[in-house]
């Protein structure tokens, strides 16, 4: 597979075209950002860890019949993916109150949400990803009603799969963000499933094991990511 041109450079990943128009190479960089890219730092090995964990989670989801963009792990920090037509929305699933939900409603972090909450945000850095809903998706043609129903169903299924995986290694999946796209008309999971896009707390200590360690200046980001990989039995070396 020939890597061709850089198509898009995001805050932590870069997309390249390949000699196959249906496939792209996704590169995980060491860059770590918060506050919509206001603060960016590099962490040695983060690209490798996220690439390997993303492949691990996507493969687990594939095994459970969730369609994902992943084709093949190419190198330490690169993965071959399907070229999707991405929906301009971020889908958030919350099992517990934390982060922006806690701030928005003034509610205490950690409270269990039953049933889990499904939220939608517009992908728009300049507007700080405003919250939207199904009606917005419809009116502005961001996602069709049928595709949104599928996205919602997939997100809840993915939550069940991930909760079980983390529960088995004594971790609590607090919330996560997913992005979907279309491939030949089918709704497919795109972007990434890594510790950058989820909140994970240790079941016993309630320590944060995710990107909040960076956002909240807690230190030990890479150590936490490595500890999660170790518990899951994912080889990151």
Selected binder of ligand 5GP within 83, 96, 199, 208 (CB under 6 A) = 199
- Minimum Å distance from CB 184 to ligand 5GP? 27
Selected binder of ligand 5GP within 27, 78, 147, 175 (CB under 6 A) = 175
Q: What are phi and psi of 176, to 5 degrees?
A: -160, 165
Selected binder of ligand 5GP within 99, 165, 182, 220 (CB under 6 A) = 99
**Total of chain residues touching ligand 5GP, rule CB under 6 A:** 15
SS3 169: coil
Let me know if 77 is exposed, middle or buried by CB neighbors in 10 A (0-12, 13-18, 19+): buried
What pairing do the DSSP bridges indicate for beta strands 31-34 and 23-28? unpaired
What is the total residue count of the chain? 237
Helices 221-232 and 46-63 cross at an angle (nearest 10°) of 30
Interaction of residue 179 with ligand 5GP, rule CB under 6 A: no
Interaction of residue 191 with ligand 5GP, rule CB under 6 A: no
- Minimum Å distance from CB 27 to ligand 5GP? 16
Stretch that binds ligand 5GP, among 2-10, 80-88, 95-103, 220-228 (CB under 6 A): 95-103
Q: In whole angstroms, how far apart are CA 162 and each of 148, 157, 198, 201?
A: 21, 9, 11, 13
Draw the binding track, 25-64, toward ligand 5GP (x: CB under 6 A; -: no contact): ----------------------------------------
What does the binding site for ligand 5GP look like in residue numbers (CB under 6 A)? Answer: 90, 92, 98-101, 129, 175-177, 196-199, 211
């Amino acid at each position: 597979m020939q890597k061709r041109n850089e198509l898009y450079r995001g805050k932590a990943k870069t997309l390249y075209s390949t000699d196959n128009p249906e496939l792209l190479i996704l590169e995980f960089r060491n860059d770590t950002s918060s506050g919509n890219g206001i603060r960016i730092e590099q962490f040695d090995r983060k690209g490798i860890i996220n690439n390997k964990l993303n492949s691990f989670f996507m493969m687990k989801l594939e095994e459970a019949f969730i369609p994902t963009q992943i084709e093949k792990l190419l190198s330490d920090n690169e993965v071959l993916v399907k070229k999707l037509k991405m929906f301009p929305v971020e889908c958030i699933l919350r099992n517990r109150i934390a982060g922006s939900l806690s701030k928005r409603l003034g509610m205490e972090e950690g409270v269990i949400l039953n049933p889990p909450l499904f939220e939608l945000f517009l992908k728009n850095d300049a507007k700080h990803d405003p919250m939207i809903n199904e009606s917005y998706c419809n009116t502005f043609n961001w996602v069709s009603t049928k595709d949104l129903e599928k996205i919602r169903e997939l997100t809840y299924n993915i939550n069940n799969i991930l909760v079980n995986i983390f529960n088995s290694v004594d971790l609590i999946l607090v919330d996560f963000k997913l992005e979907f796209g279309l491939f030949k008309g089918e709704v497919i999971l795109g972007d990434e499933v890594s510790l950058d896009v989820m909140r994970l707390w240790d079941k016993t200590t309630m320590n944060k094991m995710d990107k909040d360690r960076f956002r909240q200046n807690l230190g030990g980001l890479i150590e936490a990511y490595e500890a999660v990989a170790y518990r899951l039995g994912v080889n990151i070396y």
